[in-house]
């Protein structure tokens, strides 16, 4: 099976302008963590290639062997991510599935991404890494009351226990993408539970500041474990 890793490097963001290009430390922008994970997967032959999608020409930023796929700006909005994946499959014929590597979930580990790949190779059509709670999760209702999140798209029922929260790393087969009505058509989705920190989403300025503090105090070997295969980790290349 040939799997294409996809990194969406959109230049715009409403809440945190150009967040993908924000620097965790001087010289280390957020997108570099996604690049390093994709490079590790490529070198280990877990993926057949890496496509970086953006409405802005970012070819000067790409490592060797990375492919630039231009997408219209309107496709970069979250609700139109499906169009991005379709663009990649059209630009790179012969791929059987896509793996999304999010810039905005920087602590999602390479090992978790490898698990998504393994599920795809074992026949799963739709895979998602997510933090799973075993309790009912509430949010404030915009009208002033208290309401429940509708997680029926994950569970197939209005009963929302367990609840999947966060997680923007997906794996989809080509056939599944052609059947999807939008990016939230997640029926028959295979969930891989991961710790909350791995699904930490950088969406607001406060989120980014929290990440900067984590980087400041986190031991280097733990931080590096997010972006590469540790030595003697038992990960071996999987034939394409």
Cβ proximity of 182 and 82 under 8 Å: yes
pLDDT in tens, 154-191: 444 444 445 555 556 889 999 888 887 665 555 677 88
Give per-residue pLDDT as tens, 144-154.
333 333 444 44
Provide the sign of the torsion angle of the four alpha carbons 93, 95, 97, 102, taken in this order: negative
Other residues' Cβ atoms within 10 Å of the Cβ of residue 12: 13
Residue 143 has pLDDT above 90, yes or no: no
Residues 6+ apart with CB under 8 A from 71: 53, 54, 55, 83, 84, 87
pLDDT over 50 (residue 236): no
Per residue in 18-66, pLDDT (tens digit) is 888 888 777 888 889 899 999 999 999 999 999 999 888 899 999 999 9
Residue percentage of the chain with pLDDT more than 70: 70
Give the angle subtended at the CA of 206 by the CAs of 202 and 208, to the nearest 5°.
Answer: 45
Distance from the Cα of residue 210 to its chain's centroid: 19
Contacts of 110 (CB under 8 A, 6+ apart): 37, 40, 41, 226, 227, 228, 229
Give the pTM. Answer: 0.78
Of residues 137 and 171, more confidence is placed in 171
């Amino acid at each position: 099976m040939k799997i294409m890793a996809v990194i969406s490097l959109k230049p715009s963001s409403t809440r945190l302008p150009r967040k993908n290009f924000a620097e965790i430390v001087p010289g280390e922008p957020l997108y570099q963590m996604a690049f390093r994970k994709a490079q590790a997967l490529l070198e280990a032959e877990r993926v057949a290639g890496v496509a970086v999608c953006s409405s802005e020409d970012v070819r000067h930023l790409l490592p060797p062997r990375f492919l630039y796929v231009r997408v219209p700006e309107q496709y970069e909005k979250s609700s139109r991510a499906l169009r991005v994946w379709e663009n990649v499959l059209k630009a790179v014929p012969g791929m059987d599935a896509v793996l999304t590597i999010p810039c905005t979930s920087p602590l999602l580990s390479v090992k978790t991404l490898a698990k998504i790949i393994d599920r795809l190779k074992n026949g799963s059509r739709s895979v998602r890494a997510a933090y799973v709670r075993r309790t009912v999760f509430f949010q404030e209702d915009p009208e002033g009351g208290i309401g429940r999140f509708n997680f029926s798209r994950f569970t197939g029922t209005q009963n929302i226990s367990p609840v999947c929260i966060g997680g923007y790393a997906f794996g989809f087969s080509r056939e599944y993408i052609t059947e999807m009505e939008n990016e939230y058509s997640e029926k028959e989705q295979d969930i891989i539970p991961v710790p909350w920190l791995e699904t930490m989403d950088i969406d607001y300025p406060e989120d980014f500041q929290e990440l900067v503090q984590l980087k400041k105090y986190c031991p280097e070997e733990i931080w590096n474990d997010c972006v590469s295969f540790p030595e003697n980790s038992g990960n071996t290349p999987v034939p394409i």
